[in-house]
Structure 1
């Protein structure tokens, strides 16, 4: 392998597509990002045009090549991909898109289908025993059922099912596939024991679709086609790996796929992934196949986290997040009497309530934007603690917590999470996230484990956050109030959500 050999990693996220060019020792040579926005045509509907993802991948790859002086991608030896999920992207048999992609659990349109299918398939416990998870807004099956019922013309033409990572893989190579982990989030269509499609439940829900063959995230699914080479500047014949859902690729990027690890992904949403060898299940979490053979995960996801601070930033017209972080630091523990529920887009785990809504309690005219920003950071930390307690209730043993994502920058947010949870966190040197994990998997696929350094050498731990005992004691009291605030306000929140839905239906 040439000393100049490099790897490209591309990740499609909720708010941007990111690309990274990495040397075989893990050194980041160049990064490129393209911002994009989701579409919300109706309450509870969250979509995006997958054509955007491919266009961004093309422009990002060309810019990475330009940044390093390459004209034909001759030094790139492999391509890694990842993307948000589980999503629903439908095409005809030629790969022509039929409608915008339906996003993961933040899209809550299929609540009626979740209830109906749960009843028809024998209840939540029976579904969880077969697949690893109960049906929720995160599940693919109910969204397919929604499409069959509400968009029959689209459904009649649908032949293939993609997610963002496999959509990039298709455009790069022409291979039709889905990785095992992503398939395990296609509840109730996947069998956790056999790690294959559960045909008895999958066939009726898939309808006209040919379900994709299943591979592992690090498997090479093909090589860059001549057409994709012409568009991207990559060399035809370059190997491409299958990739997987972004949170799992992020966990790979920081080495948080060892047994007992818990990854905290600080981003637009907060995601938590715990790795185990056991088939643990929980009525309020998601049980999935891991990114590597022989591993399983319990996972949790909050519908909003960084999205709230971005909303506040835009609302305030502030000079930037660093200024707001400074003001939030000045506000101090407890945000001067404010308490927030972070359910601004419903909530996924552990309450599984798409009609939950954000609440800000304790407001007075004396409160500042720094207090509100601090309350938002604390609210997401309370949500993390709520989920961690659900993991442990399900029997998970958490040996270490590794933080990743853009939200780790600046220090205040992860410190608040450590203070609220009373847990230590490890912060690695590189927190670029899923695109870096995709590049690491791609490197291993073409060099083999004997030539590719382990991820701890690629991305060493550089910071160890410890909770402040005095802050933790204060937050213990506030956390109890946080747990009480949701049931105290949920009836009104549900009524308001229903009024919103009726008004825009």
Structure 2
């Protein structure tokens, strides 16, 4: 028998990437990227030209199909392999990215008389307009003593499924009623591939409030809004383990991708969680930080604990037989990109130039501390109405000073998360870094120094896509489970960045100031950020 291959497809915020991987050793033999035609609709609904309210972020689901039509065949061609040698395909998605569909999986935005309705479209993970709904979900859960709320750190995020569902129910009841199903894009794309609706344990647990086999009760949902009492009927269904086989590639999907009809289609997954397999980070104590526009932190534990402010803990949420923990930061690479594109003056408007200048500074030389909330706070405060802050600027402050302070702020945010895990008894021994920011040596060293832990780097530049390919190999029966496949197909470079004791001590003092600002502006000391956001939204609503 010749070599066999699997395909991993990573659906990101702006592009989809297909990766061809050899089953026997995890070698990456071909890749291709397809850019979404419509990108992120955060100001205008492309179908009509109408303005969108603040904090909206929508996408077109046909952009995801285009990834199957273009990136997958291109990756196979780049690999120079026979498509007949491909035995499975696996996918991962940003989350919570969710859409309302008909019973046959047709997105409501593709129904002619609903294309002009913003609520009929895909709500991307960074759609934050459901914050008031999330606030009410949390308040009512605590008032009623709902047992599941502790599994989510005490707060459900505005990004998650139920907050977005409640926003839909209250702001566009007609679209809500016409939605037979409300489904994660991670599961919808699998539906497109194999023709069967499935739900994966990862998104169901972290984004869909499914704990111990149950969703929130109809009584609780009715307390939020009587019209919302039946919401679970739109999201419920058989939940499948990660690495399982969702079905077989249909003739239609085979025509899109150029792959053999009938090959294994793996159960859907989330981009961050699937990366743990490609980073060989399934053992407890090894935290994976997938760093891109945002950062997601995932970690396996041997037991369940409730960690205030984290995104969730789910049995089997990362891999079977372990409790998977998730936390995250809503803005990381986006913050650095914002500064370079919109705030840095000419001559300083590149990451390379700013990184070189900032790297020459001793710790603390810029005299600044920043809060990394340019896109709100996911963990530990779970409030997307919070905003960014820089303290200490003077007439002597220069662009590289601000840039370094922003890099450091995101590292402080990660340290907050690590310490919250440790305080709850969930040990974090070391960090594996994946994602598009691993190439910034200054940023990586700052993270090692701020967290005072060694940093390992995933060897693959396509961590999520490789993780999806690993799960596809398991779904196709090439390996007994994800653990076995990860050992062979995953890849990691150990101890690439080590903390420097002198710099780590200097950062301890600066981190103390970060914590003071974090707690003052994020935990009720001063609500000025929330008040400014309210004023902004009101002014924009008048403009619309």
- Pairwise CA distance, 1:29: 0.6
Q: 2:531 aligns with which of 492, 495, 498?
A: 495
Give the secondary-structure state (helix, strand or coil) at the position aligned to 2:234. Answer: coil
Q: Does 1:291 align with 2:318?
A: yes
Structure 2 stretches lacking a partner, 5+ long: 43-51, 109-119, 222-227
Normalised by the length of structure 1, the TM-score is 0.92
Change in CA separation of 1:126 and 1:385 when aligned onto 2, cut-off 3 Å: same
1:68-79 alignment runs, 5 A limit = 68-70=79-81, 73-79=83-89
1:34-433 alignment runs, 5 A limit = 34-36=34-36, 37-40=39-42, 41-70=52-81, 73-98=83-108, 99-104=120-125, 106-123=126-143, 126-128=146-148, 132-133=152-153, 134-188=155-209, 190=210, 192-193=211-212, 195-198=213-216, 200=218, 204-206=229-231, 209=234, 211-289=236-314, 290-315=317-342, 316=344, 320-334=350-364, 336-433=366-463
**Partners in 1 of 2:278 and 2:478 — Cα distance?**
17
- Pairwise CA distance, 1:136: 2.4
Give the secondary-structure state (helix, strand or coil) at the position aligned to 2:157. Answer: coil
Q: Do 2:131 and 2:385's aligned partners in 1 also have CA atoms closer than 8 Å?
A: no
**Partners in 2 of 1:205 and 1:407 — Cα distance?**
42
Change in CA separation of 1:449 and 1:228 when aligned onto 2, cut-off 3 Å: closer
Give the secondary-structure state (helix, strand or coil) at the position aligned to 2:375. Answer: coil
**Partners in 1 of 2:101 and 2:264 — Cα distance?**
24
- Pairwise CA distance, 1:422: 0.9
Deviation readout 1:199-248 (Å, 9 max, x if unpaired): 54678251662623210121111111111111221111111101311110
Give the secondary-structure state (helix, strand or coil) at the position aligned to 2:304. Answer: coil
- Pairwise CA distance, 1:478: 0.8
**Partners in 1 of 2:8 and 2:485 — Cα distance?**
17
Q: Which residue of 2 aligns with 1:13?
A: 12
Change in CA separation of 1:461 and 1:293 when aligned onto 2, cut-off 3 Å: closer
Deviation readout 1:285-307 (Å, 9 max, x if unpaired): 12232222221122111110011
Deviation readout 1:412-442 (Å, 9 max, x if unpaired): 2121011011111222322421111000111
Larger deviation, residues 32-41 vs 179-188: 32-41
**Partners in 1 of 2:17 and 2:412 — Cα distance?**
29
Deviation readout 1:63-115 (Å, 9 max, x if unpaired): 112213357x21211001011112221111122212221233x3322233233
Q: Do 1:403 and 1:427's aligned partners in 2 also have CA atoms closer than 8 Å?
A: yes
Change in CA separation of 1:450 and 1:494 when aligned onto 2, cut-off 3 Å: closer
Change in CA separation of 1:68 and 1:449 when aligned onto 2, cut-off 3 Å: closer
Give the secondary-structure state (helix, strand or coil) at the position aligned to 1:336. Answer: coil
Give the secondary-structure state (helix, strand or coil) at the position aligned to 2:437. Answer: helix
Q: Do 1:276 and 1:295's aligned partners in 2 also have CA atoms closer than 8 Å?
A: yes
Normalised by the length of structure 2, the TM-score is 0.86
**Partners in 2 of 1:306 and 1:344 — Cα distance?**
11
**Partners in 2 of 1:235 and 1:82 — Cα distance?**
20
Larger deviation, residues 357-366 vs 390-399: 357-366
**Partners in 1 of 2:404 and 2:195 — Cα distance?**
47
**Partners in 1 of 2:320 and 2:486 — Cα distance?**
17
Change in CA separation of 1:396 and 1:284 when aligned onto 2, cut-off 3 Å: same
- The aligned length equals 499
- Pairwise CA distance, 1:119: 4.0
**Partners in 2 of 1:329 and 1:371 — Cα distance?**
10
**Partners in 2 of 1:205 and 1:301 — Cα distance?**
30
Give the secondary-structure state (helix, strand or coil) at the position aligned to 1:273. Answer: strand
Deviation readout 1:122-161 (Å, 9 max, x if unpaired): 5486343675553222431122111011011211110122
Q: Which residue of 1 aligns with 2:117?
A: none
Change in CA separation of 1:123 and 1:409 when aligned onto 2, cut-off 3 Å: farther
